[in-house]
Structure 1
Amino acid sequence: MLERLELEAFLTLAEELHFGRTAQRLHVTTSRISQTIRKLERRVGAQLFVRNSRSVTPTAVGERLRDDLLPANEQIALGLARAIASGRGGRTRGVVRVGWSAPWCGNLMVRAAELFRARHTDCEVEIHEIQLVDPFGGLRDGSIDVQMTEFPVEEPDIATGRLIFAEPRSLMVPAVHPLARERSVCLEDLADTVLVTLADARVPRYWMDRHFPRRTPSGRPIPQGPATGFWPEVLVHVAAGAGVSTVAARAERFYSRPGLVFVPFRDAPTVDYGLMWPTANANPLVRPFLDVVDEIVPPPDPVARHHR
């Protein structure tokens, strides 16, 4: 059986790929994280990470262990939350419903939920995945109180918080595509591809232009390919050679599979993620939940904390 610190240290390092940030998140020393990972590697009998002075990269064994453990760890957290709710016999003062889109946003929301429950023992947190084909629907129908999804957001009925993640952008291409052999790509290269997009009138055009553009910066048209309803469909279409897709570079760690290659952009804007909530009739628990997120991922300066 894995010790709790071994599990947390391994999964956090697999996400952060940095010993210092991992130690900071777990409130232990960097040497403690290093010792814990080495101990786990001895138990496994194989190296889990390749370390050098500039980077930390999971090995094939490390990636497989991460993929095996992550769903189980999330299920444990969910089971504990349900047990706590049952133990209270429904005697909760309130519930905050939290949404997320990308897995790294979901990981942060799970951590925030755990800390929020510890601080507000008579409250509960529900966590739900947001589908990009309807990015604001949950906020508008009341099923989601606050969510962490992709910017930009230019909706009068939705308030936004500060930037939480700014992820470099990559182009996800079929392994047989000519661009798969390049070290990097530029936005003008999209004119020579077929872009897999989203199919839904509920996605604002300004949002689509940021993530699934119709033209390159010079004005060349970008051929539009299959229009999908769910993110897994994008992976299937690209792997099958039907087109390419722009993604956050971190997506490679979560969605890498045979048939897909992730090529970094050298000129594309970042994929930005932040928190958002309804401007009217907001759940009063949203504000303390935002404070918890600020504690986990501190703003870059004191002014940013109050820019809400």
Structure 2
Amino acid sequence: MEKHEIETFLALAEELHFGRTAERLHLSQARVSQTIKQLERRIGAPLFDRTSRRVAPTPLGRRLHEGLAPVYAQLQSVVAEVTAAARGVEGVLRLGFLGSATGKLTPRIMTAFGAAHPDVEIRMREVHPADPLGPLRDDEVDMLLTRLPVEEPDLKVGPIVLSERQVLAVPAGHRLARRPAVRLEELAEERTFGLAGSAPEYWWDAQTPRRTPGGREIRRGQSVGTFQEMMTLIAAGQGVSPVAASVCCFYARPDVAFVPLEDAPPTEVALVWRAAGETEKHRAFLRATCGVVRENGGPADS
């Protein structure tokens, strides 16, 4: 198999859409289709079922993807490591983080990266919910550990590093504070917070939903710009908010209680960086991060 065939096949197996695959690889749809047909002729059987409405791998396509993806990833990693050794990775890597970021994994990631690249100094900087992507776009940080989703055409999103359950932060004396768990539908009777700043609206909506699963509106009160500001307002009885479970450890305070949100989806953290100007330092840190995640058995689950 040729390199471009492997890359095209793997991209289509992940995107399951010829248009998105073409955009991702900076090719025309016709070129993607031609490459897949050429690969299928080489193998002697269809790898994808195609209709006007969907693209899905055949059983043979799934088998090829399962066997090929990890091998190709390992090959890329080896080539990248050799390239880094040849070029040298040095200087400063500015790492932004939102809140507790990767929590307990952070020291392990730093240790792994430092051991592999002792000539790189990591400088960490906290970013805030009001503008979580601004420092990255303004070239104040090189990479960012932040909550998903991030759906920006000028930014690249790496694999998920952390997947956490959500809890509801409420005032210590709140009616829900002693409950063993609550459901998202109950938030229709509460007030959450808006966001003061320039964060993408879809991003804040993912952190603090506007509606319950049943379609009832969740009222938003005062806008906040930092996480500590929000926690202070919760303690003062000004509202409640869904937060990651790690907040219970890293931001515990006696005037705020944390109640499990039993039907909330997990909140996820990933590395994000600017698509333009990606360097070997970016790739080296990403490899170190992915290595720690693999050692942990996959994205950490708190």
TM-score bucket of the superposed structures, by smaller chain? 0.5 to 0.7
Measured against aligned partners, the alpha-carbon deviations of 1:221-274 in whole angstroms (never above 9, x if no partner) come to: 111112111111111111111110110112111222222110101111111111
* Alignment partner, residue 92 of structure 2: 95
Are 1:142 and 2:131 counterparts?
Answer: no
Change (3 A) 1:205 1:299: farther
* Alignment partner, residue 280 of structure 2: 284
* Structure 1 counterpart SS, 2:185: helix
- Residue among 212, 222, 226 paired with 2:218: 222
Measured against aligned partners, the alpha-carbon deviations of 1:139-173 in whole angstroms (never above 9, x if no partner) come to: 11111111111000100001011111110000000
* Alignment partner, residue 294 of structure 1: 290
Tell whether the 8 Å contact from 1:195 to 1:223 is kept in structure 2 after alignment.
Answer: yes
- Residue among 151, 154, 178 paired with 1:154: 151
**Structure 2 residue identity aligned to 1:131:** H
Are 1:114 and 2:111 counterparts?
Answer: yes
Tell whether the 8 Å contact from 1:95 to 1:126 is kept in structure 2 after alignment.
Answer: yes
- Point out the structure with max Rg over C-alpha: 2
Tell whether the 8 Å contact from 2:99 to 2:128 is kept in structure 1 after alignment.
Answer: no
C-alpha deviation, 1:295, in angstroms: 1.8
* Alignment partner, residue 268 of structure 1: 264
The Cα RMSD (Å) is 2.1
Q: Distance in 1 between matches of 2:285 and 2:221?
A: 39
Count, aligned residues: 211
Map 1:76-225 → 2, pairs under 5 A: 93-105=90-102, 107-200=104-197, 202-225=198-221
Q: Distance in 1 between matches of 2:236 and 2:182?
A: 21
Tell whether the 8 Å contact from 1:145 to 1:283 is kept in structure 2 after alignment.
Answer: no
Q: Distance in 2 between matches of 1:256 and 1:208?
A: 22
Tell whether the 8 Å contact from 1:98 to 1:109 is kept in structure 2 after alignment.
Answer: no
Q: Distance in 2 between matches of 1:300 and 1:236?
A: 34
Tell whether the 8 Å contact from 2:101 to 2:146 is kept in structure 1 after alignment.
Answer: no
**Structure 2 residue identity aligned to 1:248:** A
Q: Distance in 2 between matches of 1:284 and 1:278?
A: 13
* Structure 2 counterpart SS, 1:178: coil
Q: Distance in 1 between matches of 2:246 and 2:104?
A: 13
Measured against aligned partners, the alpha-carbon deviations of 1:71-125 in whole angstroms (never above 9, x if no partner) come to: xxxxxxxxxxxxxxxxxxxxx9322111111325265344323332332232222
What is the TM-score when the length of structure 1 is the normalising length?
A: 0.64
Higher relative contact order (CA 8 A, sep 6+): 2
Tell whether the 8 Å contact from 1:173 to 1:245 is kept in structure 2 after alignment.
Answer: yes
Q: Where in structure 2 are there 5+ consecutive unaligned residues?
A: 1-88
Q: Distance in 2 between matches of 1:249 and 1:113?
A: 22
Change (3 A) 1:298 1:163: same
Q: Distance in 2 between matches of 1:229 and 1:204?
A: 13
Q: Percent same amino acid at aligned positions?
A: 40
* Structure 2 counterpart SS, 1:159: strand
Q: Distance in 1 between matches of 2:257 and 2:189?
A: 17
Map 1:26-45 → 2, pairs under 5 A: none
* Alignment partner, residue 257 of structure 1: 253
Bigger CA drift: 133-142 or 111-120?
111-120
Tell whether the 8 Å contact from 1:101 to 1:129 is kept in structure 2 after alignment.
Answer: yes
Tell whether the 8 Å contact from 1:94 to 1:122 is kept in structure 2 after alignment.
Answer: yes
Tell whether the 8 Å contact from 2:171 to 2:237 is kept in structure 1 after alignment.
Answer: yes
**Structure 1 residue identity aligned to 2:122:** V
* Structure 2 counterpart SS, 1:287: helix
